[in-house]
Structure 1
């Protein structure tokens, strides 16, 4: 996991593996993220439990992290890896990234993405890719380039 330096007064930002105690905070963020679906609390809880089980111990195929300021979860990121033939190595796909609207523009999303990129490098991934409709400028600022209908950053 990575720790980010504080972005001014207040508690330091810490990126860490999600834990069962994070369910309520992540569910609230999922509701903020979702525009195409209406998240069902029971299905989010079941998916959250499944992801925690499958990503335990560092997760070779997936990663579910939260960004925390003090005791408050202010963002989360879900990423997965899969084998590809075209990229000359595994691809890490960022499935979901959401930062609480009141906490944006303070480095939280960047810290979550840096953690995913560090994980991808440790896995030997060739690329981190994602799709976005609303945050293209954010990802471009991190070095991601538009490629077809998704953005990517060659590692």
Structure 2
């Protein structure tokens, strides 16, 4: 488990394409966003590496809130590659993100998913709400539902 680096671009893009259900990642947008995410002090991109290859990633943020009396953390994207699930990679990604979020004084971590409820419950995550969204760019969404972080 480590922070993502520029050299991980190709592998993370491939995983993002596998991950995306609601949106189809476009290479030009990915290439513009990835370096900015790596430099953003409020964002964390982690990779799970097996045998020298990136087999999973997590993108999360810490941000200030008014209702929670300070910082909270949000897992935006997290996934492990098909064929490498159920090997502890997802758990390791989330645990590393939790450590980072604690270091940033986050009060809690949240995420939106319809996948792997048993996985999250085993890590002591609770179901806490309903996810709503409104697509602002026509033609961007390809199906109706939130992407599912961490398919383990």
TM-score normalised by length of structure 2:
0.82
C-alpha RMSD of the superposition: 1.1
Paired positions, count: 131
Residue 39 of structure 1: how far off its partner (Å): 1.0
Residue 137 of structure 1: how far off its partner (Å): 2.2
- The equivalent residue for 2:84 is 103
SS of 2:65 mapped into structure 1:
coil
Residue 85 of structure 1: how far off its partner (Å): 2.0
Mean CA deviation greater in 86-95 or 109-118? 86-95
Superposed CA deviations along residues 9-67 of structure 1, whole A, max 9, x for unmatched, are: xxxxxx1111111011101110111001111111112111211222xxxx2x1101111
Question: Could you say which structure has the higher strand fraction?
Answer: 1
TM-score normalised by length of structure 1:
0.80
Question: What is the alpha-carbon distance in structure 1 between the residues aligned to residue 130 and residue 33 of structure 2?
Answer: 26
Question: What is the alpha-carbon distance in structure 1 between the residues aligned to residue 6 and residue 36 of structure 2?
Answer: 11
Superposed CA deviations along residues 61-115 of structure 1, whole A, max 9, x for unmatched, are: 1101111113110100000011112223310000000100110000000000000
Q: How does 1:30-45 map to 2 (within 5 A)?
A: 30-45=16-31
**Long gaps (5+) in structure 1:** 1-14, 151-155
SS of 1:101 mapped into structure 2:
coil
- The equivalent residue for 1:119 is 100
- The equivalent residue for 2:150 is none
Equivalent of 2:2, from 16, 30, 37? Answer: 16
SS of 1:96 mapped into structure 2:
strand
Query: Where does structure 1 differ by over 4 angstroms across 4 or more consecutive aligned residues?
Result: none
| Greater relative CO (CA pairs within 8 A, separation 6+) | 2
- The equivalent residue for 2:15 is 29
SS of 2:25 mapped into structure 1:
coil
**Long gaps (5+) in structure 2:** 132-152
Answering whether residue 73 of structure 2 is matched by residue 92 of structure 1, we say: yes
